Structure 1
């Protein structure tokens, strides 16, 4: 599924089934004095975890494709999302000539959240019709499933991050960054829905394709305090200095219960500039990066066409 189709409710003809869909956006601007830094932070985080059958079924229905009559689909979807702004304070120091670190603490205020689980099954009864039943347990600020009108709560919480740079030997360097350690957001008067949903209430368009207005049997309520947990994300990079000009690099990323790895290297162009590249086999994506003085820029993508683009990462930093 391309990024463009994901933002258009999965509409599009280029479908490739999978089990994960996520975006993590971190925008920070601030100042640093000696060991301390303070900055304003804005985040947009969204994670979906689903079964491949769920992905296939949703794509077929979203695009009103002919359904395989008689086939049964497993429906299993988990979601966790926040939109937040906040303040981040960090402290950096060198423990020795070979080891430096930075610890950061973010205070977050959030105005959007969604966390929950949908599980059930669907049976195709006609090329344009299906039956389904599912259990649902989710908390939200906007009810996307049943259009319940709610008073939007506000979330407040904290997140810890940590990074270090360790020169293991004269030729080997290890860098590690971990975000969202012990991250929690607390939502007062948080709306939630628990129960079972079915396809008993159906409508059909002019072409006879089914449209379901889901029926809920269960509970709609408000929790006094709902605690939303954010999973840790980490990025590790090991660099081996081959000679004065070239190095080799290995990277590992782990986020949203999904691990990725890359191999690559870089070349020194001038005393203050280095150009590098890496390949991420699981994503089939190429990363290009440029370091110039205090600026670091990296771009990763698995293609150039927006209709086929499934992986896109952009990273930019200056001063830290």
Structure 2
């Protein structure tokens, strides 16, 4: 782990577990009756480079993982109100993408962007996949009356969104590259790519229109000392795009140019199919499972995991409830080796997540406020 978190460690014995790293809407937390609620959640994570370097065209050191490398952007904002019996109504804004690539692709991109010498004769296997969208719309959530049993109570919540698509990225690229010298390489790859803006090569396109929906499910079993929670966002969800730009093309280096340092410039030759299509984008599910054990009236222990796109993000932590009403929490997430600190007081909730104070590869934040009337 690459972090210096002394302040977090000092409060780790006085904490309540932070929920998982992804930005999720929980119908059981939205529909609490007689309140106005505002929440902002955001997560950005990248395996090969730090968040700062990711936003600065990879201008910094690289530390790719063996095997699959992930780059994740996951944010949502919810503003709305819940009534005593009618449920929660609100506006939602969502922005999320999930990128998978391999070590070779990340390394070649980093060398290209930083004019780092290539190793003559080295072969790069190129693999890249992306799935993401930007949308806003209306959200309705309903928490039903709990079902009481001799062993505890079962709580059920559902949510439904009507979405207007703003942007999308979906597709894959596969191919190979071979370094000819320290400053030059040949490459060829096939891209199967749907998009609202083309980031693979220069192409002006008309912005598509998209409309869709999504559904959420929250189940929680509670007893005196234990609770189990299952939450799924986008259980069934899609955005239907009209006149969406689509490219099924070969990109290669047959037409080369070089910068002032003699390094090859990425400016691919493109051949194949470039059309507009009607396309239904299926929204990928985001799952969370969580269990909590109440040690005593003041302290809880929690363990759980988020599951997204076939990858698991386990976490665990402890929490403490002060007599003043203040609650603090500390948790650790193992996939990106990140720490999170949460503070709750009255209707205010704050949390922050990172793996490093100076050069984080993951940053997360959650800010919400609830006013009861």
TM-score (norm 1): 0.94
Q: Deviation of residue 135 (structure 1)?
A: 0.5
Please list every run of 5 or more consecutive structure 1 residues that lacks an aligned counterpart in the other structure. none
Match of 2:50 in 1: 2
State the Cα distance separating 1:137 from its structure 2 match.
0.8
Spell out the pairing of 1:298-309 with structure 2 (5 A cutoff).
298-305=351-358, 308-309=359-360
User: Does the C-alpha gap of structure 1 residues 145 and 263 become closer, same or farther in structure 2, counting only changes over 3 Å?
Assistant: closer
Query: Which residue matches 1:63?
Result: 114
Q: Aligned pairs, how many?
A: 316
1:284: Cα distance to partner?
1.6
Report which structure shows greater RCO (CA 8 Å, sep ≥6).
2
Q: Deviations over 1:90-128 (max 9, x none)?
A: 111222252223211111111211111100000011111
Residue among 316, 327, 339 paired with 1:263: 316
CA 1:249 to 1:257, structure 2 compared with 1: closer, same or farther past 3 Å? Answer: same
Name the structure where strand makes up a greater proportion of residues.
1
How far, CA to CA, are the matches of 2:335 and 2:74 in structure 1? 18
CA distance in 2, matches of 1:199, 1:75: 14
> Can you list the C-alpha shifts for 1:4-44, whole angstroms capped at 9, x where unaligned?
11122222124334611011101010011124111111111
1:222-266 deviations in Å (ceiling 9; x for gaps): 11x111122101222211111122221112111233211122111
Question: Pairwise CA RMSD of aligned residues?
Answer: 1.7
Q: Which of residues 190, 196, 213 in structure 2 aligns to 1:135?
A: 190
Q: Paired residue for 1:13, among 54, 58, 61?
A: 61
1:1-320 aligned within 5 A: 1-17=49-65, 19-35=69-85, 36-97=87-148, 98-167=153-222, 169-223=223-277, 225-270=278-323, 272-305=325-358, 308-319=359-370
Q: Does the residue aligned with 1:149 lie in a helix, a strand or coil?
A: coil
Unaligned runs of 5+ in 2: 1-48
Q: 1:282 to 1:234 in 2, by over 3 A?
A: same
Farther-moved stretch of structure 1 (273-282 vs 191-200): 273-282
C-alpha contact 1:201 1:212 (8 A) present in aligned 2: no
**Shift of the alpha carbon at 1:317?**
3.2
Structure 1 residue ranges (4+ consecutive) displaced by more than 6 angstroms after TM superposition? none
Quote how far apart the aligned CAs of 1:304 are: 1.2
User: How far apart, CA to CA, are the structure 1 residues paired with 2:251 and 2:306?
Assistant: 37
**How far apart are the structure 2 equivalents of 1:26 and 1:315?**
10
Deviates more, 1:58-67 or 1:255-264: 255-264
Give the alignment's TM-score, normalised by structure 2.
0.81
